[in-house]
Amino acid sequence: MSKTTTPKKPSKSKATQTPTVDLSLADVYGQVRVVIERVSPELDGGRFPIKAIPGDTIQVEADIFADGHDYVSARLLYRAPHEKHWHESPMHKLENDRWAGAFSVEQVGRYQYTLEAWVDHIGSWQHELDLKVRDGQRVTSELLAGATLAEGMAHRAGGSPTGDTAGNAHDQAELFRIAELFRNPDAYDQAVQVALGDAFHQLAEQYPERQHPARYSRELGVEVDRAKAGFSTWYCLFPRSASMTEGKHGTFRDVERLLPRIAGMGFDVLYLPPIHPIGTAHRKGKNNSVTCLPGEPGVPYGIGSPEGGHDAIHPELGTVEDFKHLIAIARNYDMEVAMDLAIQCSPDHPWATEHPEWFKKRPDGSIQYAENPPKKYQDIYPVWFETEDWRNLWIEMKRVLLLWASWGVRIVRVDNPHTKPFAFWEWVIAEVKKEFPDMIFLSEAFTRPKVMQQLAKRGFAHSYTYYTWRNSKTELMEYMTELTATNGQPDAMRYYFRPNFWPTTHDINPYILQSGHEPQFLIRYFLAATLSSNYGIYGPSFELMEHVPNAGKEEFLNSEKYEIKHWDWDRTNKLTYLITLTNRIRRENPALQQTNNLTFCRIDDDHIMAYLKTAGDNRLLTIVNMDAYNRRAGMVQVPIWQLGIDGNTTYVVHDLLTGARYNWKGEWNYVELDPYMLPMHLFRIEL
Amino acid sequence: MSKTTTPKKPSKSKATQTPTVDLSLADVYGQVRVVIERVSPELDGGRFPIKAIPGDTIQVEADIFADGHDYVSARLLYRAPHEKHWHESPMHKLENDRWAGAFSVEQVGRYQYTLEAWVDHIGSWQHELDLKVRDGQRVTSELLAGATLAEGMAHRAGGSPTGDTAGNAHDQAELFRIAELFRNPDAYDQAVQVALGDAFHQLAEQYPERQHPARYSRELGVEVDRAKAGFSTWYCLFPRSASMTEGKHGTFRDVERLLPRIAGMGFDVLYLPPIHPIGTAHRKGKNNSVTCLPGEPGVPYGIGSPEGGHDAIHPELGTVEDFKHLIAIARNYDMEVAMDLAIQCSPDHPWATEHPEWFKKRPDGSIQYAENPPKKYQDIYPVWFETEDWRNLWIEMKRVLLLWASWGVRIVRVDNPHTKPFAFWEWVIAEVKKEFPDMIFLSEAFTRPKVMQQLAKRGFAHSYTYYTWRNSKTELMEYMTELTATNGQPDAMRYYFRPNFWPTTHDINPYILQSGHEPQFLIRYFLAATLSSNYGIYGPSFELMEHVPNAGKEEFLNSEKYEIKHWDWDRTNKLTYLITLTNRIRRENPALQQTNNLTFCRIDDDHIMAYLKTAGDNRLLTIVNMDAYNRRAGMVQVPIWQLGIDGNTTYVVHDLLTGARYNWKGEWNYVELDPYMLPMHLFRIEL
């Protein structure tokens, strides 16, 4: 179903020369007087697009100015995917030659924007005329000059010859009349009045004299993903542990039986670790043991067996048809199924024999197994992206992804993308989105900041984060600021990096939760769900507050990665209650469906964190006691100035978790939270 | 003498597309794994060069990283003007994937730099080998892999077939020997030792396996000006006021007589306001009066008469030959003569009749005189750069500048450059420097920050600044920080904007000096001369502390712009003494010959400012009492940690102004300054 394009060896692209003065540079064209610089947002000089979802408003700023004292006009130009012509939206001056404008995106795909600006001769003329009139000077000569400007406007009001812009006969007539007036010595006073009037000024805005406009030298991109990229709630489970009967290998059918419960809790993405055949060579046993006892199921990340590789389904889970059926049933519950892309092979993977050149060889000619010295992973063959045959490897990966898409999969979680080339991700994600623009990729890279950022720039819609290890109020406030604030940076993370918060994963059992202390689980869950519009949980394990570590490591003892677990799927507890409630509140309150709309509020306690999120008139104030062991109280400062509430008006804060309503007044108000009761408030501010 | 190149209408340059994934992009080439980003310095994506002088070291930083866990190697590439091949200098890792490197520039002209980086397979191999050996693993197979690496190194040690890099037979033999060793099972222990040894590591540095290197996508420029662009001392005088006889029009010969004195005071640039014929039409009288009495000399900025325009010399000053003679004599005193380029005309300027199309017309067909509504300047015709004939206008300006250069002029002060197009300056400066690379242009733009910055980016070597209005300690510290610090900005002003400080000019009589209070003059002078390596004074007027304003404005009463002044050229005073002394100290102390080497020191008084400037072992600590009326004292913190002085060692601070020597110890030391004695210390720290 996919036309495969062969990646060809590129002609080495010429580096941009620092321009010596070259008259072919548009902005050195002698009559172009306006400069457009320091555009924001702009990632690496326009090399990468920023991100958005339909309905978003893109705010753009730039330094715009000309020589001399003339007025300047500027427009923001933008176009939707596949549009040829630019739409325009006006820009307004802030201060110190900084200008701002905005446009909104509606469709999924790649938008583009750039800027245009020119010297506003009409505005300058009007301004100087005003000064002279105030000075009592006779402006007959200036009015004659104005007549010529007015005629120019009239001709533009007639519409462009190309017909791109329709004419406006009424305005045209009006403008010719005004030109007449400016020329009529007997109507001097009236002419001056009209010349300085708003009506004429508005006509000037409408039919500007766009002489020698400056065009910004770059066209910048906005990658618009579907709404789910902005707001999603993930639930991870291993299908093989989905059986109701202990000891029995779970199947897709078993998973289907769990859907009502998971959907009922408010999740809309069901993420499954790899569901492919599992190798037997060097298969790992319980707790990652190198000796595997007969009958042990192996690690789903040891992908590939004689039964197939990344394009096959583990037979014990069911058939491709069964998997498609699961996807279809999930859809009835408004849930999507996300697959897991782990580009690595068990020694039994078909690629190991069909494409040995895709793997690194040891001097003895054998394939090099995975190592993280001194550790060895004989059960895993890493794919070697430096192979001379990289193009066919890329094409095969694209084929696999398009095959998954053909099964109905539109969300892919990628395992350790940071150990594969950035260029590969940029290429394969773009190629897949050409045919499935609604595809969403989540980057599971827990590594250095710039590497994680680069993966997001190259096309991942979602990224795992350091949330799992940001525990204190200070840490979290710093981290959220890094993720959501611009700090005047044109390449701030908020423009391209969409966080997806996870309190735990099947790989990570963080120290802060190893106590198993219930309030701690409530807090870590709730922070993830209210700070980030995209979050997920390692479902059954987290719900049941699984916490016993494997030998002091941040891993689970008896990890589900190495064995089949039997979960009590009917169990409910305080945490599952909070999850269900919070997810319903997230669906009902748009303010929780964004991440960058965050403002922290002052509160005089180092362990109570308070933050405001607003979307239109939906205003949520969240207050969390991050001390899981002690009741804490403090005065929180509500930014009423931002909410348009005056200091003397009483307003209601409605706790959506408990239903309680409090009447508050002014900025500073008292809160008290007992972790053993409920360590958080989720107030809706109702005016 | 100059070949005039006609600026042609350019083919509109294509805007850079935001790259969708395009396999022709070098960094999408499948095997290139390294990313190079956020290079600093870099002005507007490489659109403009940074600035330097011969001997400067250019420090470059960038984010450099690859996927996975392999080591990375990076090189800074640079080339001198007209060089084809790149030189390389190593880069080292700072933290968080930030890398740094440096190269130094020696010749005047345009250098270029860019970056290259690659995955360091040898380093990664050595690192992994080390981990395995520490773990007690047998590494025979790894040694065999190392043998192949060593052979690769050996081949590279043989030199490149193109002969670009010479071979090193000794290293080559050594490396082949090492490869042998790695393959020899009987020499296992020795092989391991060699493999992990420094010698092998150094060889790896020298003959790296540069597989699939990533090249930064831009080539960045460094405009290297001659030394004087970095360190200069300006003296401004009106030659027509140079006569010894009152009432007599001064001449270039008169100026020559003043040279010994001006040079003796330590100035090396003599800047003359326009020396061209002055128009008579609407000529202005004393104090800018619109009525000009017979015999009044007019304004040198009203350029042009039947006797000629910008290419002619005002006959009363002398002939072109006389002017060349002045330049020659000045050279004997190590002084240069700077001319003043004011692109504007008197109505009598030849251009007004020969090139009426270079001026804006009023509706009645007459040429539009200068206005700044409501003010009118009938004696001035502004040149209209929006003319359709702009190319010939540009060419004429270039001709004028080349003519001046042919007279021996190498420094040009440009009057109000911000009222002419940026593109013109970029073009004309570059064209002139093609033939006279030692030409220096000073931008006299007192306008909005981004406009002043843009002029510097377009090619002005020097810029006037806001110094003239920065009076308080806080104001000056903020302003100096803006001028000299990077704040992590790749386009910080220090990279391209060279300040030239003036306490007053013939146009500006700042309020702070209108009192005529001597200590205030000493302070304002001294701050300019010690904060900025480039500074100047409006000579005779400033020396004599001229201060009477014209009707509450920041202008001089009886300004020399409108009349001939008779100065007492033999007069000396405390200020002339300080000037002479300070200029000598500037010449003798390299620390004062730079501007960006500035560090402010803490001192617990709002009116005493202290700053350190160092160049190698030349360390100057300047302390100024900015309160011109009161004795002030405080404790100053000497950054001894930065000077390598330990807290218990006594060191000498030697006041170069008074000759006094003090023994100081530790960070905090006492200073006391009486403005009526001398409001400043200029300490050389002597260890």
Check residue A374 and give its pLDDT: 87
CA nearest to B6 within chain A: A23
Count of C-beta atoms within a 10 Å radius of residue A585: 19
- The residue behind tokens 């003329």 is A125
**Residue contact A96–B450, C-beta within 8 A:** yes
Whether A211 has a pLDDT exceeding 60, the answer reads: yes
- Between CA B43 and CA A18 the distance in angstroms is 10
Residues from chain B contacting residue A38 (CB–CB below 8 Å): 44, 491
- Position B16 scores a pLDDT of 42
Report the interhelical angle of A390-407 vs A320-332 (nearest 10°).
50
CA angle, residues B351, B355, B360, in degrees to nearest 5: 95
Q: Which residues of A are annotated as a binding site for alpha-maltose 1-phosphate?
A: 284, 344, 379, 416, 561-562
pLDDT tens digits, B515-552? 999 999 999 999 999 999 999 999 999 999 999 999 89
**pLDDT reported for residue B167:** 83
CA of A76, closest CA in chain B: separation in Å?
15
Known binding residues of B are 284, 344, 379, 416, 561-562
The total of other beta-carbon atoms located within 10 Å of residue B565's CB is: 18
Subunit contact A10:B28, Cβ cutoff 8 A? yes
CA atoms within 13 A on the CB side of A207: 24
- Tell me what pLDDT residue A142 has: 95
CA distance, residue A624 to nearest chain B CA (Å): 32
- Residue A68: its chain B contacts at CB < 8 A? 418-420
Residue type, A594: Q
How many Å apart are CA B175 and CA B181, to the nearest integer? 10
Q: Which residues of B touch A454 (CB under 8 A)?
A: 35, 37, 65
What are the tens digits of pLDDT across the range B79-112?
Answer: 999 999 999 999 999 999 999 999 999 999 999 9
Assess contact for A301 and A253: CB atoms under 8 A: no
* Residue pLDDT, tens place only, A270-301: 999 999 999 999 999 999 999 999 999 999 99
Average pLDDT for A462-470:
98
CA A302 – CA A278 distance, rounded (Å): 6
Bridge-based pairing of strands A336-341 and A269-271 is: parallel
Q: Is the pLDDT of residue A662 over 70?
A: yes
Q: Is it the case that residue B23 has pLDDT exceeding 80? A: no
pLDDT tens digit string along A666-681?
999 999 999 999 999 9
* pLDDT at residue A159 tops 90: no
Residue A12, pLDDT score: 42
Confidence of residue A326 (pLDDT cuts 50, 70, 90): very high
pLDDT value of residue B15: 44
CA dihedral A99, A105, A108, A110 (to 10 degrees): -30
On the CB side of B199, CA atoms within 13 Å amount to 10
Q: Between B11, B26, B429, which is nearest A24 by CB?
A: B11
**CA of B418, closest CA in chain A: separation in Å?**
5
Region B666-677: mean pLDDT is 97
Contact B17 A219 (CB under 8 A): yes
Measured distance CA(A35)–CA(A212) in Å, rounded: 12
Mean pLDDT of B325-352: 98
Is ipTM strictly over 0.90?
yes
**Percent of chain A surpassing pLDDT 90:** 92
Closest chain A C-alpha to B340 CA, distance in angstroms: 19
Known binding residues of B for alpha-maltose 1-phosphate: 284, 344, 379, 416, 561-562
CB within 8 Å: A18 and B221: yes
Distance CA B373, CA B448 (A): 19
Cα dihedral: A135, A139, A141, A146 (round 10):
110
Residue whose tokens read 């069909």: A354
* Segment B465-515, tens digit of pLDDT: 999 999 999 999 999 999 999 989 999 999 999 999 999 999 999 999 999
Cross-chain residue pair A419–B215, CB shorter than 8 Å: no
> Under an 8 A CB cutoff, do B362 and A145 touch?
yes
Q: How confident is the model at residue A448 (pLDDT cuts 50, 70, 90)?
A: very high
Q: What local confidence, expressed as pLDDT, does residue B687 receive? A: 86
pLDDT of residue A162: 63
pLDDT for residue A5: 47
Beta strand segments in B451-580, E: 462-463, 534-538
Asked about A135 being catalytic, the answer comes back as no
Per the prediction, chain B carries an average pLDDT of 94
Closest CA to B378 of B315, B310, B292: B292
**Range name among A159-168, B8-17, B382-391 with the lowest pLDDT average:** B8-17
In the predicted model, is pLDDT for residue B678 greater than 70? yes
pLDDT at B165 over 80: no
pLDDT in tens, B624-658: 999 999 999 999 999 999 999 999 999 999 999 99
Q: What is the pLDDT of residue A30?
A: 81
Which residues of A are documented as binding site? 284, 344, 379, 416, 561-562
End-to-end Cα, chain A, rounded Å:
55
Look at residue A164 in the predicted model and tell me its pLDDT: 60
For B382-437, the pLDDT digits (tens) are 999 999 899 999 999 999 999 999 999 999 999 999 999 999 999 999 999 999 99
List the single residue in B24, B96, B426 with the smallest CB-CB distance to A10. B24
pLDDT of residue B12: 41
Within 13 Å and on the Cβ side, how many CA atoms surround A17? 8
Q: 3-state secondary structure string, B149-197?
A: HHHHHHHHHCCCCCCCCCCCHHHHHHHHHHHHHHHCHHHHHHHHHHHCC
> Considering B61, B171, B336, B444, which one is annotated as catalytic?
B444
CA distance B484 to B497: 9
Helix, strand, coil % (nearest 5) of chain A?
35, 25, 40
Q: In terms of Cα–Cα distance, which of A114, A103, A183, A129 is closest to A151?
A: A183
Q: Contact at 8 Å (CB) between B500 and B535? A: yes
CB B122 within 8 A of CB B129: no
Closest by alpha carbon to A225, among A406, A428, A483, A461?
Answer: A461
Q: Beta strands A411-415 and A336-341: pairing type?
A: parallel
Could you report the per-residue pLDDT of B241-299, keeping only the tens digit for each? Answer: 999 999 999 999 999 999 999 999 999 999 999 999 999 999 999 999 999 999 999 99
Helices B473-484, B518-531: axis angle to 10 degrees equals 20
Residues 6+ apart with CB under 8 A from B152: B207, B209
By percentage, how much of chain B surpasses pLDDT 70?
95
**CA–CA distance, B374 with A55 (Å, rounded to integer):** 48
The amino acid at B310: H
- What are A238-260's pLDDT values in tens digits? 999 999 999 999 999 999 999 99
User: Is there a catalytic annotation at residue B307?
Assistant: no
pLDDT digits (tens, 9 = 90+) for A633-644: 999 999 999 999
| Torsion on CA atoms B519, B520, B524, B529, rounded to nearest 10 | -10
Residues of B in contact with A219 (CB under 8 A): 15-18
Q: What is the mean pLDDT of residues A587-616?
A: 97
Q: Give the nearest chain A residue to B374 (CA atoms).
A: A132
The band of B162, judged by pLDDT with boundaries at 50, 70 and 90, is: low
**Measured between CA atoms, how close is B538 to chain A, in angstroms?**
26
Contact B18 A46 (CB under 8 A): yes
Among the partner-chain residues A47, A144, A431, the one whose CB lies closest to the CB of B363 is A144
For each of the domains in chain A, give its residue range(s) and CATH number, in order of start: 24-224 (2.60.40.10), 227-593 (3.20.20.80), 598-686 (2.60.40.1180)
Residue with tokens 């997230």: A586
| Structure confidence at residue B164 (pLDDT) | 60
Residue A218: which of B16, B21, B363 has the nearest Cβ?
B16
Task: For chain A, give the percent of residues with pLDDT over 70.
Answer: 95
Read off the pLDDT band of B159 (50, 70, 90). Answer: confident
Q: Closest CB to A67: pick one of B24, B68, B421.
A: B421
List chain B residues with CB under 8 Å of A69. 372, 419
